[in-house]
Amino acid sequence: MKEKIIEKANDMFLNFGFKSVTMDDLASEMGISKKTIYTHFQNKTKLVEATTDFLFCCVCDGIDSILEENKEPIEELYAIKAFLMYHLKDEKTSPQYQLQKYYPKIHNTLKVKQFEAMQECVIENLVRGIKKGVFRADINIEIISRIYFIGMMGIKDQEMFPRQSFPVSKLMTEYLEYHVRGIVTEKGQTILNNLIKEQ
C-alpha cells in the first residue's frame, strides 16, 4: 500500500503541484481513508519527501538505461531530454518551484543529489564527446558541467521564466541547443543540425 500511495501522490503532485494536493484529495482519489495514509506517513512533509525520492530514483534509472545504449554523445543528450519531458509531465505545475517555496529543506537535499548524479552523467558525456571529436578538446569539463547544471536549474525559475510565456519543453529545447552549440566541433555541428531537423 505504501508504494501505491507514493506512486499516486507523485502523479498528483506533478499534475497539480505540491501545495495544491491535500491528504484528503489523495485519500479521495485512491478510495482509501486518510487514516490509511497516516499509517504510512506521519504528515504531508514525509509524503513529499518519499515522493521526491521515488521520482529521483525513477529518473536516475531511466537515464542509466539511456546511457547503457551507448548512443552518440549529442544524441544521448537529446534522448535524456525527451525522457525527462515525458517523465516530468512537461512540469505543468512547476513542481521544482513549489518544492523550493513550500518545502525548502527537501528541495535543498534533492538539489545536492541531482547535482551529484548529473555531474557524473554530464562529465562522462563531455569526455566521450571529446574522444569522438564532436565536442572541442579545449573545453574545461569541470566548468562546462557546472554551468550546464546551473542552467538546467535556472530555467525552472518561474520569476525569470513565467510558465505562461515560456513552456518547459521550449525552454529545455532552447537551452540544450545553446549548450551543445557552445562546445561542438564542425563534426558535432553537423550531427546537431541533423538532430534538430528530425525534432
Question: What's the rounded Cα separation, in Å, for the pair 25 and 20?
Answer: 9
**CA 177 to CA 52: how far, in whole Å?**
28
- Nearest-angstrom CA–CA distance, 176 and 147: 12
- 3-state helix/strand/coil string of 44-71: HHHHHHHHHHHHHHHHHHHHHHHHHCCC
Residue 22 lies in a domain: no
**Residue 98 domain-assigned (yes or no):** yes
Query: Is 171 part of any domain?
Result: yes
pLDDT tens column, 146-192: 999 999 989 988 889 988 899 888 899 999 999 999 999 999 999 99
pLDDT, tens only, 10-22: 999 988 889 989 9
pTM recorded for the entire structure:
0.86
Task: Give domain status of residue 5, yes or no.
Answer: no
Question: Quick one: 99 exposed, middle or buried, by C-beta within 10 A (0-12, 13-18, 19+)?
Answer: buried
**Contact indicator for 21, 47 with CB cutoff of 8 Å:** no
- pLDDT at residue 88 is higher than 80: no
Q: Is 34 inside a domain boundary?
A: no
pLDDT digits (tens, 9 = 90+) for 52-72: 999 999 999 999 999 999 999
Q: 112-148, pLDDT tens digit by residue?
A: 999 999 999 999 999 999 999 999 999 999 999 999 9
pLDDT confidence of residue 87: 75
Distance CA 165, CA 155 (A): 12
Of all residues in the chain, the percent with pLDDT exceeding 90 is 78
Instruction: Establish if 15 belongs to a structural domain.
Output: no
Instruction: Name the residue range of residue 156's domain.
Output: 45-198
Cell of 110: 534533492
Write down the pLDDT at residue 14: 87
Is the CB of residue 1 less than 8 Å from the CB of residue 36? yes
Is 127 part of any domain? yes
The CATH number linked to 66 is: 1.10.357.10
Q: Is 31 a member of any domain? A: no
Number of folded domains that form the chain: 1
